[in-house]
Structure 1
Amino acid sequence: MKGHSFKKTILLLLMSLLVLLVLTACGSKGTTSGTSGSGTATATQNQSKKIRIGVTMSSIDKFLSYVVDAMQSYAKEQGIELTVVDARNDASTQLSQVENFIAKKMDAIVINPVDTEATKPVVDAAKKAGIPLIGVNRRMDGLTCYVGSDAYQSGQLLMEYLAWKAGYKGNVAIIEGTLGSEPARLRTQAIKDVIAKHPDMKIVADDTADFLRDKGMDLMENWIQAGKQFDIVASNNDEMAIGAIKALEAAGKLSKVLVGGIDATPDALQYLKEGKLAVTVYQNAQDQGKRAIEMAIKAAKGEKIPEEVMIPYETVKPEDADKYLAKWQ
């Protein structure tokens, strides 16, 4: 009996030990699962953290206001936080804005530079902070990615059409945008290069109006008062072209002058329909704004992005006005 009882006791101890081992294993699995669940929750929180992007624009003129609208619309769709500031054509102000974005630890910065040839401090600050820098509309050195168009191409398309329309002869007045900006520099160079191909064409006036309508009007009034004689006005953008048209119209000289601009804004397309503007060149503001924010989001997530996203220009003749007006609706 005693032997049987002893065996029974041993058996019970072995069974108890087995149960204890099973329970310990289950407990260990439960702890691992709990840790994994916590890690998943943390990863989810990181993924759901709202991306913050800072945008500094050289100025918010008529065309760039459409770029900003497209940025804000796309940012809203993507659920990201977008802060847009206006440097008012002041490079030192823009540097301060970038430094402020860095201090706020923005995930990416989008810049439309004031002076494309004096951006080293901005680039250095962004690189030091490890924040992606996306350029829009104006190209500069040191960008993570540039989103925009070939400014030289736009000036070329503009002047080639005006030269053809004028029979490859006549005096030309050039209205430049903000000095130091890439669009003003490259568009003006392209205009001059086209003119140089035609011996019966020459430049008789060339000055800046900062891409603004009222300054374009003032400049044209000054040229008229100074007795400048020209057959063609090649403007770096539509706003300055419209200002020039207003001054020429007031002086009763518009019918004798071909005026062309760049951007194909809704206002310019209306002037084109009315026969006051000879030609414009379409620059896709919606695509520039949307793609700039798209690249900024990808860069903020650590995704690989291209060095540039190019959006081509298109010549817009009077008969195409309605077609391009529809693109703005």
Structure 2
Amino acid sequence: MRTTRARRPAPAAAVGAAALALALTGCSGGGQSTSGHGPISITFLQKQGDQGYFVDEAAGAKAKARELGVELTVVNVGNDRDRSLAEAKKAIDNKTSGLIAVVPDPSAGPELVALTRQAGLPLLSADDQICADYTDPSACFTKGLVPRVGFNGATMGAAVGERAATEYTKAGWKAADTWTLSIGNSDIPVCRDRMNAAVDAFSVHAGAVLKTAKVWTENTVEDAHHRTAYTLAPKPGVKHWVVWGCNDEDTEGGIQALTEAGFGPDNIIGMGIGAYLACKDWLPGKPAAMRAALLLKGSEVGALAVQQMVDRLKDGKELPHETTVPATMVDPSNWQASGAVCT
């Protein structure tokens, strides 16, 4: 047991100063309300801004900002961790009212929180979780997690694993010559959640534990394609593959590598997350290795993030700790009616 020496009560002035500092900094997603202090301007830092999902997310955020009559600046920081911090500093210097961030790397979390706390700005994360105290959000205490709007990774992964098990059972494949291929960025907690939950759900619903090849990628089609091709080399004798990833890009890249290795659509069960690329495989109406995908409407996340930030800035409402948006499973039979947009 750790013991500490008793301390004398702090002077009243010191207590007052501490209380003022807490009021200004707030919790990990806090900050001052700007109600009554001029027009509201929000900065939305977004990774991979040219990816279909994030294009949709930015469009939803802009539409909501127009509806609410606030100024919104969307900044594409790509996959550059340092640029996300540099753009945050620039936004603060330009007197932005609040910051919404989809960080390329969650390790930027503590620095980003420190910047916004010092400036007295509210911070809201979208999609990926970030922590005020640790570079890895999975090690974070609940109170240190930045308020977030997005999807639940474990729920998504479980849905993917369950649907993959249904397709596997329908195909009549045998565990002896079937492997699963799990593809994604292991440094991103939500990716780990999705992929791990998919493995667990598949095993339960398929009634079989298959050998799994894991491929760590940058969540792009090109990288998933290249790294999967390398992984396939020492896997002779495998006749069938069940493939899932952190997003559509990972699964598409994996399917491309498998196709080049001689596996046709009848020997691949691909499961996407996003549906913005998966639906392209269904356009010709031919058999596709991509059997189904979770439809993620980025526009809903973007719009909800802006709404919550405006509520915080205008009315002083606390940012909810976690707001999850539902995802829908789509396939060649229903994707067009679902409103999925191919990009």
TM norm structure 2: 0.74
Match of 1:94 in 2: 84
- The amino acid of 2:126's aligned partner reads V
CA RMSD of aligned residues (A): 2.6
- The amino acid of 1:242's aligned partner reads E
Structure 1 pair 143/204, CA: closer, same or farther in 2 (3 Å)? Answer: closer
- Residues 287-325 of structure 1: per-residue CA shift (max 9 Å, x gap): 101111111112222431433322112222332222224
Q: Is the 8 A contact 1:236 1:262 kept in 2?
A: yes
Matched, 1:308 2:315: no
Match of 2:149 in 1: 147
Q: Distance in 2 between matches of 1:49 and 1:134?
A: 21
Unaligned runs of 5+ in 2: 1-34, 132-143
- The amino acid of 1:281's aligned partner reads L
Q: Is the 8 A contact 1:90 1:114 kept in 2?
A: yes
Q: Distance in 2 between matches of 1:108 and 1:81?
A: 11
Match of 1:293 in 2: 306
Q: Distance in 2 between matches of 1:121 and 1:244?
A: 34
Q: Distance in 2 between matches of 1:199 and 1:233?
A: 17
TM norm structure 1: 0.77
Structure 1 pair 67/272, CA: closer, same or farther in 2 (3 Å)? Answer: same
Match of 1:165 in 2: 167
User: Larger helix proportion, structure 1 or 2?
Assistant: 1
Match of 1:113 in 2: 103
Match of 1:76 in 2: 66
1:208: how far off? 1.9
Q: Is the 8 A contact 1:156 1:190 kept in 2?
A: yes
- The amino acid of 2:98's aligned partner reads A
Identity of aligned residues (%): 21
- The amino acid of 2:271's aligned partner reads G
Match of 2:14 in 1: none
SS at match of 2:148: strand
Q: Distance in 2 between matches of 1:203 and 1:65?
A: 36
SS at match of 1:246: helix
1:211: how far off? 1.6
Pairing of 1:266-277 with structure 2 (within 5 A): 267-272=277-282, 274=285, 275-276=287-288, 277=290
SS at match of 2:333: helix
- Residues 26-78 of structure 1: per-residue CA shift (max 9 Å, x gap): xxxxxxxxxxxxxxxxxxxx859331111112322221121112112222333
Q: Is the 8 A contact 2:156 2:194 kept in 1?
A: yes
SS at match of 2:124: strand
Unaligned runs of 5+ in 1: 1-45
Match of 1:58 in 2: 47
SS at match of 2:334: helix
- The amino acid of 1:189's aligned partner reads N
Match of 1:11 in 2: none
* Alignment: residue pair count: 282
Q: Distance in 1 between matches of 2:97 and 2:77?
A: 20
Match of 1:26 in 2: none
Structure 1 pair 235/51, CA: closer, same or farther in 2 (3 Å)? Answer: same
Matched, 1:233 2:243: yes
Q: Distance in 2 between matches of 1:196 and 1:245?
A: 21
1:161: how far off? 0.8
